Amino acid sequence: MPPPSKVALLFIDGVGVGARDEAANPLTAHDFLLSQFEDGSGAPLPRGGQRHDVDTTFGVPGRPQSATNQTAMLTGLPAPRLLGEHVLGYPTRPLAKLLADASIVKALLGAGRSVTFANAYPVGYLDALGLARRPGSLGDFVMPDKLKRRLKPSATTLAFTAGEVPLRTFDDAVAGRGLTHDIDGAAAQRRFPVPRRTPEEAAAIFWALAEDFTLFEHHLADEAGHAQDRGAALDALRTFDRFAREIVRLMPDDAQVLICSDHGNVEDLSTRNHTTNRVAALSFGAQTPALSTVADVGRQIVAWLERP
């Protein structure tokens, strides 16, 4: 069977495989694609979708964190094991070097593949970080030096920066060439004049801008988990689910779609902290991925697309 011609990765922060506990786990409220539970039960998956429960700890003591596990996903390397610890928040210098050297974006570009990041950002944010961007002026502002010194790029932006891929701006979101982090524009519109869209409209835009490899990042579920906010969690999960289902429905026959998180969180609102639970890596398409840790997601994408 030939490898896919396109691979889409929908990365959602902070959604693990937890207990079927209605009091603590908002994923029990509906049959979301990510309503997958530790007893093996879960929502049915469309288009022959496959569920793979993958490790997030890498055998390193402590709770998995975003910086190390996102680096693992975007390099295919066991970042927590390499550093001997879990690093929260944004990549430190050692993690930034891993991304600069081993980003899957860089590897795919080196193999002659095209890549893109669907997320759009305010111009002022990208300029404050010194990240290469596409043309635009929406969200332009001058950040005070005091704040700029504390600002750090995410693992996703560093992964694309490693390949010298200009990031999308809110001008792209307005023009239908990029997506806000919240998918529908509701949260972004509180601060910037970006359009509102249905999750289904956002999914159509995603495929219209898609390259050989396309990434979209969503982090509102993780924020809701830290806040222990069930209402915000359900809003984020509902919007993401509508978006993801439409992505799968519109998926070309020669494409593969992966949906994965970096660690658990929102599946247990009894705590503000990340969990050590596995995460459900969902795969849609003709291929059966080989996945045991979140790092394998990145490795598998490169393996599929590096083939001629």
Q: Going residue by residue through the chain, which has 308 residues, state the pLDDT in tens, using 9 for 90 and above.
A: 789 999 999 999 999 999 999 999 999 999 999 999 999 999 999 999 999 999 999 999 999 999 999 999 999 999 999 999 999 999 999 999 999 999 999 999 999 999 999 999 999 999 999 999 999 999 887 777 777 778 899 999 999 999 999 999 999 999 999 999 999 999 999 999 999 999 999 999 999 999 999 999 999 999 999 999 999 999 999 999 999 999 999 999 999 999 999 999 999 999 999 999 999 999 999 999 999 999 999 999 999 999 75
Question: How high is the pLDDT of residue 158?
Answer: 98
Where is 305: in which H helix or E strand?
helix 295-306
Question: How high is the pLDDT of residue 281?
Answer: 98
Question: How high is the pLDDT of residue 216?
Answer: 98
Question: How high is the pLDDT of residue 140?
Answer: 86
Question: How high is the pLDDT of residue 149?
Answer: 77
How deeply is 185 buried, as exposed, middle or buried, from its count of CB atoms within 10 A (0-12, 13-18, 19+)? buried
Question: How high is the pLDDT of residue 308?
Answer: 57
Please tell me what DSSP assigns to residue 182: T
Quote the CA–CA distance of 127 and 148 in Å, as a whole number. Answer: 10
Q: Which residues fall within 8 angstroms of residue 136, CB to CB, at 6 or more apart? A: 123, 169, 170, 171, 172
DSSP 202-265: HHHHHHHH--SEEEEEE-HHHHHHHHT-HHHHHHHHHHHHHHHHHHHHH--TTEEEEEE-SSB-
Predicted TM-score of the model (pTM): 0.97
260 to each of 94, 139, 140, 242, how far by Cα in Å? 24, 29, 32, 16
Where is 107: in which H helix or E strand?
helix 104-110
Please tell me what DSSP assigns to residue 129: H
Domains of the chain with CATH codes? 6-306 (3.40.720.10)
Question: How high is the pLDDT of residue 199?
Answer: 98
Question: How high is the pLDDT of residue 97?
Answer: 98
